[in-house]
Every structure is written in C-alpha cells, then in structure tokens.
Amino acid sequence: MDFSTAAILGTGTMGPGIATTLALGGVTTTIVSRTEDGAERGARAADGYLAHLLDAGLVSEAERDAARARIHVSARLDTAASAADLIVESVPEQMPLKQDLFAHLDAITRPDAVLASNTSGLSITAIAARCAHPERVLTTHFWNPPHLMPLVEIVRGASTDPSVAEGVKALLIRCGKTPVMVRKDRPGQLGNRMQMAMVREAVNIVAEGIADPEDVDLAARLGFGLRLPAYGVLEHQDLVGLELGHAVCDYVARDLYNEPHAPPLYREKMAAGAFGAATGRGFLDWSRKSPEEVKARRDRFIVECLKAGIHHAGPHPK
C-alpha cells in the first residue's frame, strides 16, 4: 500500500504534529483548515515542531528542509481530501461531528484512500457507521506531543480491512513511529484504558486522604514512572514472578476504586471553580507552577529517552 500524499484535518496541537511526522517520513502532506489563516497557523506550528526536532538533534537540517518542502496548506477540504492517499482527522472529540465528517469523506475521496481518525477514545466503528466503505476506516491515535511521542495506536473497527491496518502500520514505522495494533474497538483503546485505571486510583487516593496530590505525582514520576520507559508493566510481572504478582494484585484489588464512573472529587473540584491549570487550580495549585515549564520538562525527558534509544522506531527519530 503506497502512501505518497496525505491530508491532515485540524490545526490544533495534534494536526500540525501529525503533518510533521508524515512529512519527515517522505509523505507530501496538506494541512487543512476552514480558513487560509487557520491553515497557515497550522503550517507555522509544524515549522516550530521541525525546529524543535532540529534543536534537539533528532533531525538534520537537510531532513528538516525536505520535510518543510512537503508541507502544504489548504482551506478547501474537498480538493485536498480527494487528492490524498491518506486522510487523518484531528477535529474535536464529538461523535456527531466526526460521523458527519467521515460520511462526507467517504463520499468524496477515492475508493482506495484510507480514512483515519486521531480520536483518543471514541469508537471508530461508530464513527464509520454512516460510511459506505467502513473497511477503509480506522483509528490512528497519535500520542501528544505527536512530533515527539513514538506511540501511535492503530484501532481496527468492526469492518476495518486488516490489510489496510497493516499498510498504515508500515507507513508509521517508515515515519519513525512505534505503532501498536488494537484489535478490538473498545472505549479508551489500549493506552488510555491503562492510563484511566491509574488516573481514577490517583484521584481516589487524594479523595480518601491517603496522600496529597503532590506526593501522588512524585510517586508516579519517581517510582514506576521512572522505570516504564525501559521496563513494561507485564515485563515487571514476569520478572517478579506471577505467584507474587497474583498475590499482590489479589490483595490490593479489593481496596481499589472500582465504581463505573469518575471519582466524585472531579465534580467537587469543578463545582468550586477548580478546572485545572487554565484556572490556576485543579488538583494542584497552579499559582505556584508554570504549565509551560511542566510541558517543557516533559518534552526534555521525551527527547532524552529518544536519544537514549528507549523506544522501537524506524528511520525517525534518529
């Protein structure tokens, strides 16, 4: 399956980052927005991501320049999508919006074009429900920030052709990403299902007064979090032995938060006007913390992991 052209729908954080990834992999990529100004903003963001990769030593000047030349912009959805081998949408996480968009894309694109969603948890089967050709529809969930994070989850819907998923997997490897195949379309896919289990227990720990939010984050970062880049969850279970792993899991599981909804502390915080970093307070006091500095710390760590080779990737990053 040959992917030489792509259209990326969406100019927020994710769209330009996905465009950067594909352009570095040799794909001529068009960033599509509803307006020319929006598309140009997306291109400037992609240029910033390429500059970041260059500064971090993850791409050469020649690779940056070649990728730059492959990135184009458009405010004409139908024109850009109808010319592309791969269309990746990164619009807001609203099921009706995505269903309308995919039904339209299904009608205007070539029969052999692949339609992908960057949804982080919505059902791709439901997104493709109104498509005449759902066999060419799948999820490619790039993790944020997409120009740095190696992981991309490929989720097959109920009707997705396995050969389409394998073709997209090969493309992502060519682009330097590490794709994982999610074979059942379930809420949260793969990574977010595991992440949500951790998140809900972290919130529950704070709600029960077991530990303060700051110490919860320190335990995550400097405990299992420090090992995870090089040492998987199931590798750990096998190495300590399933007998011990089973005993600990069986004992601790009885006391974990296990309600089929988010812990009530979320609503309590929001009712008090604490919506997170944007409002200055969430679980943590952001009047004493800089969101930009936290993100920069995150990105520096990811770059160092990439340089250390603690990932499995193709030609990029090097």
pLDDT digits (tens, 9 = 90+) for 250-277: 999 999 999 999 999 999 999 999 999 9
Amino acid at 165: A
Q: Please, are residues 141 and 170 in contact by the beta-carbon 8 Å criterion? A: no
- What per-residue confidence (pLDDT) applies to 310? 77
pLDDT tens digits, one per residue of 164-197: 999 999 999 999 999 999 999 999 999 999 999 9
Share of the chain above pLDDT 90, in %: 93
pTM of this structure = 0.91
- 1: Cβ contacts below 8 Å, ≥ 6 apart: 114, 163, 164, 166, 167, 168, 170, 171
The pLDDT, as a whole number, for residue 313 is 43
pLDDT < 70 stretches in the chain: 311-318
Query: What does the pLDDT read at residue 316?
Result: 45
CB hemisphere CA count around 224 (13 angstroms) = 10
Q: What local confidence, expressed as pLDDT, does residue 312 receive?
A: 55
Contacts of 230 (CB under 8 A, 6+ apart): 310
Q: Which long-range contacts (CB under 8 A, 24 or more apart) does 98-104 make?
A: 98/122, 98/127, 99/126, 99/127, 99/129, 99/130, 101/9, 102/127, 102/128, 102/130, 102/131, 102/137, 103/130, 103/131
Q: Which helix (H) or strand (E) holds 140?
A: strand 137-142
- Report pLDDT for 314: 43
- C-alpha distances (whole Å) from 56 to each of 60, 61, 147, 228 are 10, 12, 12, 22
pLDDT on residue 73 = 96
* Domains of the chain listed by start with CATH number: 5-182 (3.40.50.720), 191-287 (1.10.1040.10)
